[in-house]
Structure 1
């Protein structure tokens, strides 16, 4: 008997096709089409975890790529992210995603100052699918509020999410505070490095590169509860030179001083309009912020990655990358009495002079 039914695609191919269709809807700012595609796939038997991680997370990754390439504005990126968040919500209430609690209790939160909440929300839904009871606290959770919550819930672990490396000093404080009351911490997100190197440096009990790996790690066995005073702040001895503290404390004045001097060092800036000058000030603030984080971690590579990534972003937007070396030189002059800061800035200047310096780097 003949039939007009098309051959069914393999599982991975169906997920890729669904991701492409959802991307088209998200790119068109069509929330209804995006959620309908997700719900239809679940109705047809798609695995909810795969829909979350192989479809929605993949689409969100493309949103970031399109923004970096200047093919999507900040407003469009925010709108696309909001649609993806609502798509996650649609999965969470679908009958296919209703799972009984068979495991313990996990608190999922973003580091204080971290607004990128979608990775933490994805992890929350995956853990719920795996049978965990999850307290999802959302974006930028101050450490005192996190600790107060833990005192009332007897959580088995905290899953702490961070996407921006400049929040790592705050993450360190949160990790230490959780461990001080006996709650182990699993961290994840781009902030902790592509291999989790900053998770280890800051004393986290475990690290995972993505939501699926995090859920697998927690399912493998309970994280050991730390003993009181397990983690101490003297585990970063380089902070004894006070460079991090002094640069962080004076960051606003550093930005103002370098901004005022940059016009002479980079004559093209004299023709900038008000918006361009505002953007330049913002870029300088980000440079100083990453410098202070590199000082906290004593990691030159973090700063060189950031400065070459910044060059890539500026280049994609038609902004002269030649403004960066003068800015770094001016900063080095202002910080001449801070040897670690000067060394990090020099490495940044050298990285910009290297071939392919504007190529996109590995996400940190």
Structure 2
């Protein structure tokens, strides 16, 4: 059986196992694949990672429940751990290439991509300190002082963590350690990774390994810089002021929506709470778009949210009313209002266009 066909069959079997919540069945699929001669890197990246992506897509389309999504992710994580610790002749992880640190941006709880990167680097001969999800920047820097790694690999899936990622990148470089960024949060072709000063960007685990093998330039700790040096548009203070008024904006917008979207008056307490959460996400992505000065961060989130709402039979165009309400509250912020106008236009045009792909929350 040739490898492409074998991989396709393995995906089908693994998907069925995780969908049924069958952890032992999932483990049997991947261990059986290794016994049949499929290499571990292929199993990790072309089978397990692809199934994890499918989990996100199926949840977004409302074809699996939140509970199924969580169970599937937990099974995939345990299967990866089982592969990493097997004692039946798997590759030894001696770390002859050097030491690196892999972790997630503070606040980022999508750790699965970073875990896959860590395992691939170990297979390629690196000694890896895997720090997992939500790594606070001060603790990350303290770890670097203690271990002196060749590089930090920083993972982020949700764009709203880009400001935190920026601080982490700057802090790591200030102690002389180069940063390789990866994950959906950093945008198409890593545009935000480079805007935030990362030394390199990688699209996936194989790309990360290749970047390390090509070596990374070591930053000069003496060449300290301020965040505003990377992003001079922040001097207008709109980002800072929107972030500081987040709570008030959410409350005011929820109140204003009762007039713009009368159906909201009949919502239960739980429905109102979820609506408030949606408004908070809108404000967070709006602030992030202000931070990186790129409307696509905002419109991409809005279009993805519209798909999620439509899949759950909630009128997506109600988002336009929320944007209008926010615009009224932010009339003294020209860059912010421009983003809100462009977001509303994208939603109105998207209502007549084919569905867009998975949004920023779904990278695994």
What TM-score comes out, normalization by structure 1 length?
Answer: 0.95
Q: Secondary structure at the match of 1:137?
A: strand
Runs of 5+ in structure 2 lacking a partner? Answer: none
* 1:235-254 pair list within 5 angstroms: 235-254=230-249
Unaligned runs of 5+ in 1: 1-8
| Preserved CA contact (<8 Å) 2:62 2:311 | yes
1:166 aligned residue: 160
Aligned-partner Cα distance in 2 for 1:132–1:350: 48
Structure-1 separation of matches of 2:151 and 2:109: 22
Indicate the larger mover: 209-218 or 353-362: 353-362
1:279 Cα offset (Å): 1.2
Counterpart position of 2:181: 187
Partner of 2:311: 316
Counterpart CA distance in 1 for 2:60 and 2:110 is 16
124, 134, 148: which is aligned to 2:128? 134
Does the residue aligned with 1:186 lie in a helix, a strand or coil?
strand
Distance in 1 separating the partners of 2:144 and 2:50: 32
Q: Which moved more, 1:226-235 or 1:25-34?
A: 226-235
Matched, 1:339 2:339: no
Contact residue 57 and residue 358 of structure 2 kept, 8 A: no
| 1:287 equivalent in structure 2 | 282
TM-score, structure 2 as length reference = 0.95
- Aligned twin of 1:58: 50
CA offset digits 1:149-186 (Å, max 9, x no partner): 00000100000000000000000000000000000000
SS at structure 1 position matched to 2:135 = coil
Paired positions, count? 355
1:24 and 1:97, CA in 2 relative to 1: closer, same or farther beyond 3 A?
Answer: farther
List per-residue Cα deviations over 1:247-284 (Å, max 9, x = no partner): 00110110011001111110111222222211111100
1:264 is aligned to: 259
Question: Which residue among 99, 102, 110 is the counterpart of 2:104?
Answer: 110
Between stretches 168-177 and 346-355, larger displacement belongs to 346-355
* Equivalent position to 2:2, from 2, 10, 13: 10
1:78-131 CA-to-partner distances (Å, cap 9, x unmatched) read 111000001111111223232332201110000000000000000000000000
Asked if structure 1 preserves the Cα contact closer than 8 Å seen for 2:258 and 2:264, the reply is yes
User: Who is 2:343 aligned against?
Assistant: 348
Of 65, 68, 82, 2:74 maps to 82
Give me the whole-angstrom Cα distance separating, in 2, the residues matched to 1:337 and 1:362. 33
Structure 1 distance, partners of 2:226, 2:272, is 42
1:359 partnered with 2:351: no
Q: Which segments of structure 1 move beyond 3 Å, counting only runs of 4 or more?
A: 355-358, 361-364
Pairing 1:224–2:217 present: yes
RMSD: 1.2
Residues 1:154 and 2:148 are matched in the alignment: yes
1:360 deviates by 2.1
Distance 2:145 2:83 in 1: 30
The answer to whether the 8 Å contact 2:97/2:125 transfers is yes
